[in-house]
Structure 1
Amino acid sequence: MKYEWLDQYCLSKKCAEKDFKIDWEAVRYLIGGKMFAMQGGDKYKKSIITLKCKPELGQALRNEYEHIIPGYYMNKQHWNSVYLEGDVPDDVLKQMIDMSYELALSSFSKKMQKEILQVDKND
């Protein structure tokens, strides 16, 4: 895989967790039980990561990079998939992960966001 840092970067997000969804054969990265990234494969078993994105930015990214496509098996307006053997620069992919994490976190109420972010991983 081209992006060796991917797992560590996703897990570096405050209170991020990961699990493996057997039915999807995919690793999911979650915040407060909500998914912000999913790493698996497409129907041809090509490695992808799927991330939430603001619709207008998602479309712009798909127009700019051939290896960013509408979210595989997800809402095509709000999710994008990135082929992990593609040519998307590391900084662009990191920005996409950051945005996806922030979008997932912001979907919670302010009170819940505070509770999630106060969880101590050292418990």
Structure 2
Amino acid sequence: MNIEELRDFCLSLPGVTEHFPFDETTLVFKVNGRMFALTDLEGPLSVNLKCDPELALELREHYPAVRPGYHMNKQHWNTVDIDGSVSDGLLREWIMISYKLISEKSRKK
């Protein structure tokens, strides 16, 4: 997956918008005004994704490309290096998990 495919997939989800709230290189995807995915347009491609804390730990143990969320709450966020070691299908699945966690939480409020 490259940055264009990542962006296209995130924007294909219902209600998703993109923003640059931090600087001109940190692309943030939001649903209902809340972040569910972030990526830096400079440097090696990676994405920060929201995750259930237990699943976050499990993914870090099984995938070297998954690590605690960079500049995020490490209990609830993972950074996934998009280096080809994780399939695009699995990456899309993890993006959907993040999207659903945020959109469901937003609906409850």
Short-chain TM bin? 0.7 to 0.9
What is the CA-CA distance between 1:77 and the residue it aligns to? Answer: 0.6
Distance 2:41 2:54 in 1: 25
Distance 1:79 1:41 in 2: 19
Q: Which blocks of at least 5 consecutive residues in structure 1 are unaligned?
A: 113-123
Q: Cα 1:3–1:20, aligned 2, differ >3 Å: closer, same or farther? A: closer
Quote the residue 1:100 is aligned against: 98
Paired residues of 1:53 and 1:100 also in contact (CA < 8 A): yes
Q: Which has the higher Rg, Structure 1 or Structure 2? A: 1
Return 2-11 or 82-91, whichever deviates more: 2-11
Q: Which blocks of at least 5 consecutive residues in structure 2 are unaligned?
A: none
TM-score of the two chains, using structure 1 as the length reference: 0.78
Q: Supply the AA of the counterpart residue of 1:25.
A: T
Quote the residue 1:25 is aligned against: 25
Q: CA RMSD in A?
A: 2.1
Q: Supply the AA of the counterpart residue of 1:8.
A: D
**Superposition pairs of residues 24-43 of structure 1, within 5 angstroms:** 25-40=25-40
What is the CA-CA distance between 1:22 and the residue it aligns to? Answer: 4.4
Quote the residue 2:45 is aligned against: 47
Aligned length: 109
What is the CA-CA distance between 1:86 and the residue it aligns to? Answer: 4.2
For residue 63 of structure 2, the aligned residue among 59, 62, 65 is: 65
Q: Supply the AA of the counterpart residue of 2:50.
A: K
TM-score of the two chains, using structure 2 as the length reference: 0.88
What is the CA-CA distance between 1:107 and the residue it aligns to? Answer: 1.3
Q: Supply the AA of the counterpart residue of 2:52.
A: K
